[in-house]
Chain A
Amino acid sequence: MTQATLDRDIPVRGSGADVDARARRTAQRRRALHWIAVHALGIAAAAFFVLPFVFVFLTAVMSDNQALTRDLWPHTWQWSNFRTVWDTPGFLTWWRNTLLYAVGGTVLTVVSSLPVAYALAKFRFRGRNVIMMLVISTMMLPPQVIIIPMYLFWAKQLHLDGSLWPLIIPMAFGDAFTIFLLRQFLLTIPREYTEAAKVDGCGEVRTLLTVILPMIRPAIAAVALFQFFYCWNDYFGPQIYASSNPAAWTLSYGLESFKGAHHTNWNLTMAATVLVMAPVIMVFFFAQKAFIEGVTLTGVKG
């Protein structure tokens, strides 16, 4: 709209000024209409994306009786629902398990994937492209493909079922998606940096830790977030390995049983849903930029 003010300030001189002014007004009106149309569409789309959250939240604070009706707005705001959910036996344990899985899994994944990504991006050796193709192939595979032998391995041979260890331990051996993303990012760093470090007498490990690591912090943040969300959201893994032992359940797995125990009370189920969504959304707000950069990297670069 600044453009419009500027236009008005230009002094009108000479012949044909009327025509000019009319053309300018038409252009202005068209711009204004365009602005209104775009923002109206934007608001309609925003309603579609945001309203589900709003309804979930409003139901989460309804009283038990009202949650059984078709009302959309709570008569009384029963904030204690969150407390009730929090105090449900098990909820805190699921929370702790999820955090252990997500934080432990993320740290292990990043630490074990970084050297692999570095080697694939910076070292020249035979078979590099073959390894890269294998990494990409495994990246696209669902966990169900190999779950039968993996389950037999963890449960029948190591007797680790009923815990989250079968999910956490493999993360110490690199994750295809993380390796792929970090490598893509490392490729954008000019070779001169690593060569300059080598001239200064740095070994590869020191080059990686002191020269490269500070430069790729945004990429590390992005892959860490992806992995954190992956673990936090994982349903299949805990279902296979932890379902036999409620003390090892995670939030994603436990949430569903919550609906079983409170099947008439949508309000408590929705309060639990809010409590599972909230941390993810909070993490996103703190790290929005890194996250969106990461998503862009998956699709555009490469």
Chain B
Amino acid sequence: MSASVHPLLRAKRRKEALRNLAFLSPWIIGFCVFFAYPLISTVYFSFMHYTGFNNPTWTGGKNWSYVFTEYPLFWPALRNTLWLVVVMVTLRVVFGLGVGMLITKIKTGAGLFRTAFYLPYLAPPVAATMAFVFLLNPGTGPVNHILGGIGVPTPGWFTDPHWSKPALTILAVWGVGDLMVIFMAALLDVPKEQYEAAELDGAGAWSRFRYVTLPNISPIVMFAVVTGVIQTMQYYTQPLVAGKVASGIIGNSGQQFEPGYPDKSTLTLPQLVYNLGFQRFDYGSACVIALVLFALSMAFTALLMRRRSGFLSAED
């Protein structure tokens, strides 16, 4: 903005700046009030002793050391998250890719199959979780009924600490429709000529997949893995509802539900924010967990943005 700019041009620029501001204003207000301010406030409270009934008092790093060294639920939650990242994310990606490939090969009734495969993804999480606690309940559930019928061991699923995470994984794999659609679109974008060329070279089904399909869709696989990891760190509703329903301790029954049933095996980080903040009224320590969650989410989002710079590309 040098002095030599023509007054008319300057007026136009000012008008444009005002217009931009007007269009962006909902987001600017929302970002400041519902994101920036609470985030700074979270950092502030993480150094405070605050129960909601006292005046916040400075405690230095006490909340932090409490969470990392004394709080009995932190490390189990982190270990569970690691388990889920390794097993659940991998299975979801492999299964999503498999079903996506299958759907591109189906000739008869493709629309019907696609809808059937996609529908579970839409089931509301609370409803889907309750359905699976019922389906997998060890006493009268149809799954163990069938497994018992064919002479296979019948696990306790959501009531057994060794089987609760596998049960949650089955639930997550059931709702793989989102990945299926993304993989399907990517598979249809692979140039046909590359398959034909590979076939002329005598490539079998496996080498066609390994040397043509996989290189072409690897960005989408990467996207599915990273978003899968982010979603897993934020995994909340399904493990909490599964634990509550399977344990029989529900909301207004008067008893307080200690998350993680059975035996801390379904604990995840977001549940700790609820446990510390809204059950133990230790807002300071809850904020520490919130910041751990923030740091982990941001780290993987940065990875996603670097891998897919296309996120930011404009038309010009």
- Report the interface size class on chain A: 35 or more
- B215 interfacial contact with A, CB 8 Å: no
Residues of A within 8 A of B128 (CB): 277
Contact count band on B: 35 or more
Q: How far is the CA of A296 from the CA of B189 in the complex (A)?
A: 12
Q: Is the Cβ of A277 less than 8 Å from the Cβ of B23? A: no
Find chain B residues with CB under 8 A from A150 CB: 34, 38
Among A112, A134, A153, A233: residue with most chain B CB under 10 A: A233
Instruction: Tell me whether A149 and B41 are in contact in the complex, defined as CB-CB below 8 angstroms, given that A39-B108, A52-B135 are known contacts.
Output: yes
Q: Are B38 and A146 in touch, CB under 8 angstroms?
A: yes
Min CB distance B80 to A, Å, is: 16
Residues of B within 8 A of A280 (CB): 122-124
Q: Chain A residues near B23 (CB, 8 Å)?
A: 115-116, 118-119, 123, 204
Asked if A69 and B290 sit within 8 Å, CB to CB, the answer is no
Whether A269 contacts B135 in the complex (CB less than 8 A), given A46-B113, A50-B116, A156-B52, comes out as no
A76 contacts chain B at the CB level, 8 A cutoff = no
- Check B244–A256 contact: CB distance below 8 A: yes
Chain B contacts for A96, CB-based, 8 A: none
How distant is B57 from chain A, measured CB to nearest CB, in Å? 16
Q: Once bound together, how far apart are the Cα atoms of A207 and B126, in whole Å?
A: 42
Residues of A within 8 A of B16 (CB): 123, 125
Encoded as 1 (CB less than 8 Å from any A CB) or 0, chain B from 24 to 43 comes to 10110111011101110110
CA distance A184 to B18 in the complex (A): 24
| Contact present for B283 and A148 (CB under 8 Å) | yes
Chain B nearest CB, measured from A175 CB (Å): 8
**A42 touching B113, Cβ below 8 Å:** yes
- The reply on B178 being an interface residue by CB < 8 A is yes
Q: Are B185 and A170 in contact (CB under 8 A)?
A: no
- The proximity string for B residues 107-126 relative to A, scoring 1 for CB distances below 8 Å and 0 otherwise, is 11000010111111011111
Chain B positions within 8 Å of A, measured between CB atoms, are 16-17, 19-20, 22-24, 26-27, 29-31, 33-35, 37-39, 41-42, 45, 52, 99, 102-103, 105-108, 113, 115-120, 122-128, 130-132, 134-135, 137, 139-140, 142, 145, 174, 178, 181-182, 185-186, 189, 220, 223-224, 230, 233-234, 236-237, 240-241, 244-245, 248, 250-253, 269-270, 273-274, 277-278, 283, 286-287, 289-291, 293-294, 297-298, 300-301, 304-305, 308, 310-315
Please give me the 3 A-B residue pairs with the lowest Cβ-Cβ distance, nearest first: A173-B30, A260-B250, A299-B182
